[in-house]
Every structure is written in C-alpha cells, then in structure tokens.
Amino acid sequence: MNIVVTKFGGSSLADASQFKKVKNIVLADKKRRYVVPSAPGKRNSKDKKVTDLLYLCHAHVETGIALDDVFKYVKERFIEIVEELGLDYNIEKHLEIVKKDLEAGASKGYAASRGEYLNGLILAEYLGYEFVDAQRVMIFDEDGTLDSEATDKALKDVLGNIERAVIPGFYGADRNGKIITFSRGGSDVTGALVSAGTGAELYENWTDVSGFLMADPRIVENPETISHITYKELRELSYMGASVLHEEAIFPVLAAGIPINIKNTNSPEDKGTFIIEETNEKQSKTVTGIAGKKDFTVISIEKAMMNSELGFCRKVLSILEMNDVSFENMPSSIDTVCVVISDSELRNKKDRIVQQIKKACDPDSIVVHPNMALIATVGKGMAQNKGVASKVFTALTKADVNIRMIDQGSSEINILVGIENDDFEKGIKAIYNAFK
C-alpha cells in the first residue's frame, strides 16, 4: 500500500529546531503519509513536559487556584514554536479555547490531551498536511477502554479519503465526545493503531535514541545497538525494564504483521532497531539483549513428596492472589517451589503471606531471600544453539557472582538468573561481555 506511519515523540517536537528536523524527515520520503505527534517534551533535563504542565493546570482548577500562572508556560511553549518556525498561524485562538475549557472544569483527560492536539495543529500547518482530530478516529467505550473495531473502522473511513494527515497521539473520545487518553507515553499506541488501520508497510517510531541497546548504557559502556528484534524478545526484555516503546503499542502492529522501526530524529541516518515478527538467520543473534531489575524477594518452599501432593501450588498462588500480590516467576523442582516477587508488590505483606503459606501448605521449610536481582538473557537464537546457558553461568562464575536461582522459559528465548542485588551491575557486564 506504500504507506509509512511516522510517530514523533515529545523530545522530537520539543521546540522549533526539532520541528525543522521532523519536517525534513517526513518530506524526505513520500510514503510518510500519516504523522502522529506527541506533545512537546523536555528541551533539556531541567525542562518540563507540556503534558505534565497540563496535568498541573487541571489540578490548579480542581483545587480552586488561578490557572494563569501555570497556563502561561503552556502558552509560551506553543507561541515560541509558531514564531520561530515563521508560521502565519493563529495558535493563540486555540490556546484561548483550551484555557476557557479548563477554567470551566474540563476533565483531566481533556487537559492532558491538549498538548498533542495543539502540537498536531501546528505540525499539520507546518507540513501542509491535513489535521485529523484523534477524537474522530480513536474510539473508546464509556468505561475508558479502547473499542478496537470501531477505531479500525473509523481510521479506514476517515483516512481512506485523506492522502496526508497529522493525527495527534495519546487520546481519543468515547461516543459522547468525552476525551479519553491512553496511559502515559500513549502516542506510541496511537501510531500503532494508525499503522494497522491504514495497512501501513512500516511503523516508524522516532525518538531520541538510535534504537534499542543490547544492555543498559549506564552499566555497560557503549553497548551495541540491536538491529533486529522479534516482538517476543522485546516483550521479554521490556518486562525486565528495558522499555523505549509503550508496551501496548506492539499488539496492534503485531496482529497486522507490520514492522516497527525505532529511529532517532537527531540522527536520522542511523538505521535504528527493527521490531519484527520473525528474524531470519542473518538478522538473529544468539543473544539479542540483556536486561534486569533489582529488588525482588524469593519465597522458597520445601516439602518432601510435594510433586505428588495435589493442589500444592494452587494453594500458594491463591494466597498471593488473596493478598493482591502478583508474582514474577515460579521456578520449581521435585520437592521445592519458589515464588519470585517484586518488592514493590510485596511491600509489608511478606510476614502475613509466609504465615498463611505455613498454615495452608504445612511445608517442611519456608525461607525468604530478600535483596535479589533478576537478569534476563534473551535471544531467539538460543533455542538452536548449544552452550548458551553454560556461557551465561561461566561468565557469572568468572565474575565471582553467586547464582541463587535459574529459570529458562519453555519458549527457550530467555535464561533468567537470580543473583544478589549487590552483584547486579557486575552480572550484567559479565554476560554482555561473554556474548558481544
């Protein structure tokens, strides 16, 4: 169909100089027909995102504080962009409407969405593309969940007749016209839905990094960029905290078989990372990426003949459920089972849970190991290659890291190890160096 959907994140549209880069990128390829902008992001580390300012505006009105002092910052951001681009465009008119609506008690969703809305108006004008308000094409149910079918239909109906358009990210509306937003970072989701709805051949997601890195650059010096990664590998890595893309952005394009290309607005010639359904032999590496997280607790339960006791694990899991605690992982052996729980989930419920397990399951022993970190070594290629696990363990042993727990998912694309929090950085470095 020759359509490429381009989504630009907040840092790509933070000021007029970024807008200029965006225009060059969009106009460099005729296929870039549908553009999805975020609201202006931070221009430097001390700056504020416009979306955050808008949430603040809403909070001011709710608590009865005058809006002017904070709305002026929102106003300044947009007026400066229009002026510096030399556009003859009356953005003040739109800003006035937004301010009046906010003062009249507009909803939080409405407030938050105006950053994308106003940025979209300016970008459409600057590119000479049509502006399509996202509330026409992102359709939500009244309970705030997206109606995917209605959204797909609306996208086809509306964009089917428009050659080139800017569709603001992050929000849509329910059938009563109430504005509803996705969760934070949700412009990624808009871009994915527009890609699926228009049958795009590619979804380009432009940010300020040249794709995904094999490991966290705060831990590993100059890690390699991942050139190709499958959706499944990305899920495994992002659940461990390596996220550049909103998680819900994957599903619409995955279902439609559309690749995502993570690109850098500040360095457009870099190839970035392609997220695809299947990598071929040339594209896939044994290990695609390494990610991890600190601060887990492992509850290790032992009972002789556990394997023949019906319902043992069910009892353990229902205790977690009753305490509203979700677990990360559950490795087991013949007479033991461990549940790995993030400390943010467990909070102050640990003692209660342990007591309840003792009472319900009558284990021989139950031991709690705090201060654990998990490291996931992920790669589709490991299913075909022998010796990957041994390489991970040897690397950790050589680095003097004690492995407390090992788990390999049945999909064979992830080897998970549990180590002490204090060994976390050392562990990541050791595994990265073994596979780079």
Which residues are annotated as part of the binding site? 7-10, 51, 116, 207-208, 218
> Following CA atoms 187, 191, 196, 197 in sequence, which dihedral angle do they give, to the nearest 10 degrees?
90
Choices 25-33, 181-189, 253-261, 389-397 (CB under 6 A): range interacting with ligand ASP: 181-189
Q: Does 172 bind ligand ASP (CB under 6 A)?
A: no
Q: Does 171 bind ligand ASP (CB under 6 A)?
A: no
Question: Chain centroid to CA 44: how far?
Answer: 22
CB-nearer residue toward ligand ASP: 253 or 341: 253
Q: Find the part of the chain contacting ligand ASP (CB under 6 A) among 57-65, 142-150, 178-186, 342-350.
A: 178-186
340 and 280 Cβ atoms separated by less than 8 Å: no
Q: Which is nearer to ligand ASP, 11 or 377 (CB)?
A: 11
CB of 260 to ligand ASP, least distance (A): 15
Q: Which of 168, 169, 197, 289 binds ligand ASP (CB under 6 A)?
A: 169
Task: Give the nearest distance from C-beta 191 to ligand ASP in angstroms.
Answer: 9
Q: In what order do the strands lie in the sheet with 4-8?
A: 130-131, 165-166, 32-37, 4-8, 202-207, 260-264, 273-276, 228-230
Task: Convert residues 358-397 into a mask of x (bound to ligand ASP by CB under 6 A) and - (unbound).
Answer: ----------------------------------------
CB atoms under 10 Å from CB of 368, counted, come to 14
| Residue of minimal Cβ distance to ligand ASP | 187
Contact 265, 207 (CB under 8 A): yes
Q: How far is the CB of 58 from ligand ASP (least distance, A)?
A: 14
CA 211 to each of CA 165, 232, 384: distance values in angstroms, whole numbers, following the listed order = 25, 17, 26
Residue 256 makes CB contacts below 8 A (sequence gap 6+) with 195, 196, 199
Tokens of 21: 């880069």
Rounded Cα–Cα distance for residues 344 and 350 (Å): 11
For residue 278, the one-letter residue type is E
With CB under 6 A as the contact rule, which of the stretches 69-77, 91-99, 180-188, 302-310 interacts with ligand ASP?
A: 180-188
Q: Does residue 185 touch ligand ASP according to CB under 6 A?
A: yes
List b or e across 376-389, with b for residues whose CB sees 16 or more CB atoms inside 10 angstroms. bbbbbbbeeeeebe
Task: Give the footprint of ligand ASP on residues 39-68 (CB under 6 A).
Answer: 39, 49, 51
CA–CA distance, 149 with 101 (Å, rounded to integer):
30
Binding residues with ligand ASP: total (CB under 6 A): 13
Question: Exactly one of 11, 12, 135, 187 binds ligand ASP (CB under 6 A); which one?
Answer: 187
Binding residue for ligand ASP (CB under 6 A) from 6, 8, 10, 126? Answer: 10
Q: Is residue 260 a contact residue for ligand ASP (CB under 6 A)?
A: no
Binding of residue 207 to ligand ASP (CB under 6 A) = no
Indicate whether 8 belongs to the interface with ligand ASP (CB under 6 A): no
**Position 37 contacts ligand ASP (CB under 6 A):** no
HSE on the CB side for 16, CA within 13 Å? 12
Cα(71)–Cα(77) distance, rounded to whole angstroms?
10
Q: Which residues are annotated as a binding site for ATP?
A: 7-10, 207-208, 218
Q: Which residues bind ligand ASP (CB under 6 A)?
A: 10, 38-39, 49, 51, 115, 169-170, 184-188
